[in-house]
Chain A
Amino acid sequence: MSLEQDTIAAIATPLGNGAIGIVRMSGSQSLSIAQRIFRPHKKHFLSHHIYYGHIVDKREEIIDEVLLSIMKAPHSYTTEDMVEINCHGGIIVLKKVLSILLENGARMAQPGEFTKMAFLNGRIDLLQAEAVAEVISAKTERALMICQNQLSGKLSQIVRGLREKLLLLLSYNEVMIDYPEEDYSNISIESKLKIVDDIYGVLDKLLQSASSGINIVSGVTLSIVGKPNVGKSSLLNALLNDERAIVTDIPGTTRDVISEYITLNGVPFRILDTAGIRKTEGLIESLGVERSKDSIEKADIVVFVLDVSRELDEEDKVIIDLLKNASCRKVIFANKVDLDKKINKEKLADFFPQCPIVEGCLLDNRGLDKLKKEIYGQIIYYNVNDSEIAVTNERQKKTLEKAMWEIPILRQHIEDNIDPALISIEIQFIVSALDELIGNVTTEDMLDKMFSIFCLGK
């Protein structure tokens, strides 16, 4: 028996007490299993109907009062027969219902397996499957919007459009090889180059959207560094007061006990080591440098806080050195400009020639809006409109880059009118990169990897 013949089941709602909880089942045996455990007994279920009744165990004892949703193949999430059981939300009830399904022949679903089935059965492509996970974990409305666009197939459509164009180019090229004597096959080099340039334009736009898209969807880690008593804690509180986001972390993604999130223009920022900032602020801190080093390594963007009312000391200079060599983006916040300035902006600019330097005072939140703008600007340097379509993860970005890198070579080949066999190889290489992007070619291993990032039951 193959894996795909199994009927799979899982609890689809978060574990914990809620008003309702859902147990989900997909596969050819779904309906017959439902018949065996649902009372009153139904000879036939109608698709897309909801049935009121009870789930019973082997001894016909009632386990729960439920609503049963029936979705028959192919009009379901997985395109197989599906049953969703709306139970009461207690964890014991849900586990009991699930165990009855398993007793009756269903198999426990692996994480992401429902979506995997939707993909394997061709209802969604790889980009859409990825979007499912991203919709679930979206931390801001903006992230959700971008993921929904991807889920609805808009990104796939663009990629398929590019693929079509490439195949057209390929056919021009092939005709030239096989029928060079037919003049209707002689498409001018200029018009071929135009197709290549069009493709390049679209790929370029998509790739430009990538860093922003990835940041919006996956979020950005921000760290606040500076020696003790420069105002790190005040800055943290000021940011949190204004922009605190209510999100929970996905278990296992962070080693920090508590992370706080802020949202700037729909981009989620996770602030690293907030506990550390609070605890050490105001104390004589011996671990300050170590902590800064660690934070800088982990962060996508660092806000370096300085107290300009004091001269730069050794401690500042150590942090400056650390930051100079770091690959992360940086914003300098010159705090306490209300006091006598001992460090001027020019001097800081000498240290950080490319970085925005914001002067401010956290007592009256002077400069805070400017700081937020600069932080956002450092992360989102290509603006993605909410209606626009963006690349949202590293895999997508890397595959697109693979395609993109070949385009100038292809262009050169066409321009030089070289061996058409080589031109075909270039085109096919780009096509296969796009195929990889939308999942036209996949390996089982890659799929396992992909689908294992889903939460159970989706």
Chain B
Amino acid sequence: MLTTYPKEFDVIVVGAGHAGCEAALASARMGHSVLLTTIDADRIAHMSCNPSIGGRAKGHLVKEIDALGGEMAKNIDETGIQFHRLNMSRGPAVWSSRAQADMKLYSQRMKKIIENQSNLRLKQAIVDEILVEDNIVRGIKTSIDEVFLGRTVILTTGTFLKGLIHIGLKHWSGGRISELSSEKLSDCLRKLGFEVGRLKTGTCPRLDERTIDFSSMEPQYGDEPPCPFSFSTEKIEREQMPCYITYTNQKTHDIIRSGFDRSPIFTGIIKSRGVRYCPSIEDKIVKFSGKERHQIFIEPEGINTTEYYPNGLYTSLPIDVQIKMVRSIRGLEKAEIIRPGYGIEFDYADPIQLKPSLETKLIRGLFSAGQINGTTGYEEAAAQGIMAGINAVKYARGESPLILDRSQAYIGVLIDDLVTKGTKEAYRMFTSRAEYRLLLREDSADLRLMPFGHELGLIDDSIYKKYLKKKENIEKTLKRLGEIKLKPNAATNSMLKNIGTSHIKNPVTLRELLKRPEVNIDELYIFGEGLKNLPQNVKDEVSFQMKYEGYIKLQKEQVERFKKFEYLKLPPDIDYYSMIGLSNEVKEKLTNIKPTSLGQAGRISGITPTALIILQIYLKKRKIA
């Protein structure tokens, strides 16, 4: 007998991982009723793999989520135990924030936020079915025959769809090593007509702190003071912990090779594709067989635990090999494994089946985000989650979706890549995926996106005021620097000498002076009033805008050209098969993907420039007709 929950939800989110939490919070904070289901209510926003947030390109995603009003940045700021900005020796465009998390605290804090969010109901349940009528989503049915009606459903199922865990030649069903899997939902997706594929990922064994010899490893400390992720966090208060660096060696590699005959990857038991970008250690030593050693980071999992995470030792080898492998590494000679590393295979749905709003093309009101879309990483999941949450609400309200483009956000790059190119192997964010990196800096995420967040109601007025103040401050400072003109006299030139730059022969504004690579904005206050005590974020932004002016201009021109093609919309009713001059491959791709703009069409792999010209001519003719 079915039990139907009396109230219809606006949004139902299936899965309470990093994608699901952002989706549920965004929808609820926009004032809509939300149901969030999870297989285990103790594992909200659980860090299944590495205990860290951010990193190259991922840090950008986290700050963008924050600027839109998401939770991830605030959550890591409150629970982080080591903050470090990467690539600081390089230019500001590629600066990236990363932090180690106390994974237990991270999960607990997010759980508390979820539990206390108004409009949001949390329920532990295994969802077996998506209810659909006339290709419109109606709700979900759980494994205990409970029905929840909803106007939209967001699937954020992570690794749980027919999850299959591998350690050596042993394998069993599970969503994570000690959790149930969701065995029926992906069959339901297949029945609805979705193409469902299989991916593989894996994690590292966890080691006991008391058995690690840290004295023989190189410690790695965070930045002092730690720099927060969220634009609303003033200061990181928590005490910070170091990580450690060690390396594998030839002996480690020999031990790993000795286990290949019992490796689920090399014996063919795991057939699905692994993650190219964080490969298992066994994959690494095969692919880079010439490399003598691989770096391993020994990272704390939290303040109140002795568990350490040997980042870089992703493995699904049998436990005896795992033990020997770990103990062959310097500093880990006596290490005890608390939890073994494992591989996991799971079902996903190629995101080529999604619209740029993350709604499925097949079923109206059905959205998906995170690993079900073939991505890897907490940040990638959360980024999709918040967008799916926002767009589910927009759908329920009958409004047009919020779609960020490639020139606005890494989130835009991520989603455009997913829905345009699809995923045959797990997708990870990289800075190199973004074309307009100078405009998409981490630090400018608020300048780019906070107005959206505020308009959606996800950024409250106090934060928004702070943003407006920063913006105004930047503009004022730029103006001031342009107004102050230095005269080429002895006094000026001696001051210039003092700050380590060459003298001037003609009058020069401070703006011009700041363009010199050796001139630091901190030193300019000696030349004029109102330049002292500027906040660091204002100084950073102003310096960047001046020092990179030429390149920023170039990128803005590129963006203009890019937008021109984004604005050329391709109507969904085009019959590509009737177009002569397109190859069959191109016709098939265009028909399947249904790009929304000429720009998107151009990014589909295999779509040639000539095919684009033909589409352009078609659009022109159609407009005339």
Of B430, B431, B555, B580, the residue contacting A5 (CB under 8 A) is B580
Flag if A120 contacts B56 (CB, 8 Å): no
From A151-159, A172-180, A337-345, the one touching the partner chain is A172-180
Q: Does B551 contact A (CB under 8 A)?
A: yes
Is the CB–CB distance between A181 and B295 below 8 Å? yes
How far apart are the CA atoms of A424 and B618 in the complex, in Å? 34
Closest CB in chain A relative to B565 CB, distance in Å: 10
Give the contacts of B27-84 with A (CB-CB under 8 A): 56-57
Interface string of A436-457 (1 = CB under 8 A from B): 0001111010010000000000
**B196 in contact (CB, < 8 A):** no
Contact B610 A120 (CB under 8 A): yes
B621 at the interface (CB under 8 A from A): yes
* Residue interface bits B344-384, CB-to-A below 8 A is 1, else 0: 00000000000000000000000000000000000000000
Residue A3 at the chain B interface, CB threshold 8 Å: yes
Are A177 and B56 in contact (CB-based, < 8 A)? yes
On chain B, the residues within 8 Å of A441 by CB distance are 609
A327 vs B608: C-alpha distance when bound (angstroms): 43
Contact call A122/B610, Cβ cutoff below 8 A? yes
Q: Is the CB of B613 within 8 A of A442?
A: yes
Given A1-B621, A424-B437, A425-B555, the answer on whether A119 and B91 have CB atoms closer than 8 Å is no
Q: Which of A400-426 contact B (CB under 8 A)?
A: 418-422, 424-425
Is the CB of B438 closer than 8 A to any CB of chain A?
A: yes
> In the complex, what's the smallest C-beta–C-beta distance from A278 to chain B, in angstroms?
50
Question: At the interface, yes or no: B605 with Cβ under 8 Å from chain A?
Answer: no
Q: How far is the CB of A350 from chain B (nearest CB, A)?
A: 39
Tell me if B215 counts as interface (CB < 8 A to partner A). Answer: no
Of the residues A117, A180, A424, A444, contact of B617 by C-beta under 8 Å? A444
Q: CB of A76 within 8 A of chain B?
A: no
Q: Does A121 contact B (CB under 8 A)?
A: yes
Contact B91 A422 (CB under 8 A): yes
CB contact between B94 and one of A182, A420, A429 (< 8 Å): that residue: A420
Determine whether the beta carbon of B91 is less than 8 Å from that of A444: no
B-contacting residues, A1-46, CB 8 Å: 1-5, 27-28
User: Given A4-B614, A120-B614, A177-B90, are A421 and B430 neighbors across the interface (CB < 8 Å)?
Assistant: no
- State the CA gap A119–B609 with chains docked (Å): 10
CB under 8 Å from chain A, chain B span 426-441: 430-432, 437-438
A419 and B621 contacting across the interface, CB-CB below 8 Å: no
Interface residue count for B (Cβ, 8 Å)? 36
In-complex Cβ contact of B432 among A1, A2, A178, A439 (8 A): A178
For window 98-120 of A, CB contacts with B under 8 Å fall at 117, 119-120
Is B554 an interface residue, CB under 8 A from the partner? yes
CA distance A442 to B609 in the complex (A): 7
B579 touches A (CB below 8 Å): yes
Within 8 A of B (CB), among A113-148: 117, 119-122
Q: Which single residue of chain B is at the shortest CB-CB distance from A174?
A: B432
Which residues of A from 314 to 329 have beta carbons under 8 Å from B? none
In the bound complex, do residue B613 and residue A447 qualify as a contact, i.e. CB atoms below 8 Å apart?
A: yes
Q: What residues of B have a CB within 8 angstroms of the CB of A182 in the complex?
A: 295
Given contacts A2-B614, A178-B56, A180-B87, contact A425 B438 (CB under 8 A): yes
Whether B616 sits at the interface, judged by CB under 8 Å, is: yes
Q: A2-B580, A421-B94, A422-B551 are in contact. Are A120 and B438 (CB under 8 A)?
A: no
Interfacial chain B residues near A184, Cβ < 8 Å: 288, 291
Query: Which residues of chain A are near B613, meaning CB under 8 Å?
Result: 120, 442, 444, 447
0/1 interface trace, chain B 434-460, chain A, CB 8 Å (1 if under): 000110000000000000000000000
Shortest CB-to-CB span from A73 to chain B, Å, is 10
Indicate whether A177 sits within 8 Å of B432 (C-beta atoms), given known contacts A3-B617, A3-B621, A444-B617: yes
A177 adjacent to B94 (CB under 8 Å): yes
- In chain B, residues 537-577, which have Cβ atoms closer than 8 Å to a Cβ of chain A? 548, 551, 554-555
The residues of B that contact A429 with a CB separation of less than 8 Å are 554
Most chain B CB atoms below 10 A, which of A1, A27, A117, A447: A1
Interface residue? B530 (CB, 8 A)? no
A177 to B87, Cβ gap below 8 A?
yes
Query: Given A2-B618, A422-B91, A425-B438, A120 and B581 touching (CB < 8 A)?
Result: yes
Residues from chain A with a CB closer than 8 A to the CB of B291 are 184
B residues within 8 A CB of A442?
609, 613
Contact B617 A2 (CB under 8 A): yes
With A121-B581, A178-B430, A442-B609 as contacts: A419 and B555 at CB distance below 8 Å: no
The 3 A-B pairs with the shortest beta carbon distances in the complex, nearest first, are A419-B91, A4-B581, A421-B93
List residues of A whose CB falls within 8 A of some B CB.
1-5, 27-28, 80, 117, 119-122, 174, 177-178, 180-182, 184, 418-422, 424-425, 429, 439-442, 444, 447
8 A-B pairs (CB sep. < 8 Å): A28-B580, A120-B610, A180-B87, A419-B90, A419-B91, A425-B438, A425-B554, A447-B613
**What 8 new A-B contacts, CB under 8 Å, besides A1-B621, A424-B432?**
A2-B580, A28-B580, A117-B581, A120-B610, A181-B295, A439-B609, A440-B609, A442-B609
